[in-house]
């Protein structure tokens, strides 16, 4: 059974297979970058679990993208693609919101492209159920329609979706991931900017920032929703019930606070209490992988 994660980590675990779900649980953390020039926060939810072998690739037009994807499928057997949720009929964002959404290509023949999207979540726009089916060329072209210019907070999610900042290529191109042609160099990836990594420090910073800036809270509710799902995955099948409940309630409380702020009736106390509850239950046993 595919674990309840973000669309990015769901596709990544499905692609890697084997013990990837267990590896991800051991790799989960919550780090935040605080000095982005665009004013948005950036989040890292886990260490890399692909051993650094995946890189982003792209093409400017559909004919060249189609040829590249067909070649990758023939050589690798499957490909993670960065689709456009606005054009995915199985997505709650269909026809509503242009945001990147990862899913997998599994095969290609005269009948079309076999796609798989194991992501399952109940979101404000509705429920996304796992999907598997065959798309013809035109349907796949629409599904991979470049998202174009996106909010910096959304771009940051894709930049850090593998766990560390990577070059995702232009968002006005057709995009996917492939295995690197050369082995990883073995050097740590650069982490530009100022990052907080210690759990209490991260949660205290988020409490101060998100409860004092309704617009910033609105931009990053989805990031804390993803953090909740990753943290619950880390806690495993037999978690501390209070900590699991605190992580479960956090995105609900933040969504309520963001909706209230947008209506001109801020409920900052709701967000403060939810973040304080998680922080208060964070102990020395929490995973701490701060890097220098």
Q: Say if residues 96 and 123 touch (Cβ distance below 8 Å).
A: no
**Confidence at 123, pLDDT banded by 50, 70, 90:** confident
Q: Say if residues 143 and 113 touch (Cβ distance below 8 Å).
A: no
- Residue 189 confidence (pLDDT): 66
Residue 35 scores a pLDDT above 70: yes
Q: What is the mean pLDDT of the chain?
A: 92
**Confidence at 282, pLDDT banded by 50, 70, 90:** confident
Residue % of the chain over a pLDDT of 90:
84
Residue 130: strand, helix, or coil: coil
- Residue 124 confidence (pLDDT): 81
- Residue 265 confidence (pLDDT): 82
- Residue 187 confidence (pLDDT): 61
- The more confident residue out of 186 and 230 is 230
How far apart are the C-alpha atoms of 189 and 133, rounded to whole Å?
A: 37
| Lookup: tokens for 197 | 């990594």
- Residues 56-92 have pLDDT tens digits of 999 999 999 999 999 999 999 999 999 999 999 999 9
Residue 23 scores a pLDDT above 60: yes
How far apart are the C-alpha atoms of 256 and 192, rounded to whole Å?
A: 33
Average pLDDT over residues 195-209: 95
> What contacts 285, CB < 8 A, 6 or more positions away?
none
- Residues 130-184 have pLDDT tens digits of 999 999 999 999 999 999 999 999 999 999 999 999 999 999 999 999 999 876 6
Mark 217-249 as b/e (b = at least 16 C-beta within 10 Å). bbbbbbbbbbbbbbbbbbbeeebeeebbebbee
Task: Pick the most confident of 151-160, 182-191, 256-265.
Answer: 151-160
Let me know how long the chain is.
Answer: 292
CA distances, 134 to each of 117, 131, 175 (Å): 12, 10, 19
- Residue 291 confidence (pLDDT): 35
- Residue 148 confidence (pLDDT): 97
DSSP assignments along 82-110, one per residue: EEEGGG-TTSTTTTT---EEEEEEEEEET
Strand 174-179 to 54-59 pairing: antiparallel
- Residue 229 confidence (pLDDT): 97
DSSP-assigned letter for residue 218: H
> Tokens 């790799």, residue?
27
Average pLDDT over residues 257-269: 86
> What contacts 142, CB < 8 A, 6 or more positions away?
87
- Residue 289 confidence (pLDDT): 35
Which has the closest alpha carbon to 36: 148, 147, 160, 149? 160
19-23, 138-142, 146-150, 185-189: least confidently modelled range: 185-189
Q: What is the pTM of this model?
A: 0.93
State the virtual CA torsion across 157, 120, 239, 26 in degrees, nearest 10: -50
Average pLDDT over residues 177-192: 78
Residue 166 has phi, psi (to 5 degrees) of -135, 165
Q: Say if residues 15 and 78 touch (Cβ distance below 8 Å).
A: yes
Q: Say if residues 176 and 14 touch (Cβ distance below 8 Å).
A: no
- Residues 218-254 have pLDDT tens digits of 999 999 999 999 999 999 999 999 999 999 999 999 9
């Amino acid at each position: 059974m595919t674990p309840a994660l973000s669309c990015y980590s769901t596709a990544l675990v499905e692609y890697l297979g084997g013990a990837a779900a267990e590896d991800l649980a051991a790799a989960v953390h919550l780090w935040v970058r605080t000095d982005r020039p665009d004013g948005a926060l950036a989040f890292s939810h886990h260490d890399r679990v692909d051993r650094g072998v995946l890189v982003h690739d792209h093409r400017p037009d559909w004919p060249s993208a189609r040829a590249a994807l067909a070649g990758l499928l023939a050589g690798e057997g499957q490909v993670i693609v960065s689709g456009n949720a606005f054009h995915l009929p199985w997505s709650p964002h269909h026809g509503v919101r242009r945001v990147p959404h990862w899913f997998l290509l599994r095969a290609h023949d005269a009948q079309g492209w076999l796609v798989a999207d194991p992501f399952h979540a109940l979101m404000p726009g509705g429920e996304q159920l796992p999907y598997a089916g065959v798309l013809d060329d035109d349907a796949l072209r629409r599904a991979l329609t470049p998202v174009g210019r996106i909010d910096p907070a959304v771009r940051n999610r894709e930049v850090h979706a593998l766990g560390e900042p990577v070059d995702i290529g232009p968002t006005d191109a057709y995009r996917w991931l492939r295995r690197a042609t050369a082995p990883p160099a073995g050097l740590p990836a650069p982490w530009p900017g100022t990052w907080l990594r210690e759990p209490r420090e991260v949660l205290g910073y988020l409490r101060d920032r998100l409860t004092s800036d309704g617009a910033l809270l609105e931009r990053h509710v989805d990031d804390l929703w993803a953090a909740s799902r990753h943290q619950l995955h880390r806690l495993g099948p037999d978690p501390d019930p209070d900590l699991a409940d605190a992580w479960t309630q956090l995105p609900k409380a933040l969504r309520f606070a963001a909706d209230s702020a947008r209506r001109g009736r801020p409920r900052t106390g709701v967000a403060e209490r939810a973040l304080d509850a998680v922080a208060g239950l964070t102990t020395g046993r929490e995973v701490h992988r701060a890097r220098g």
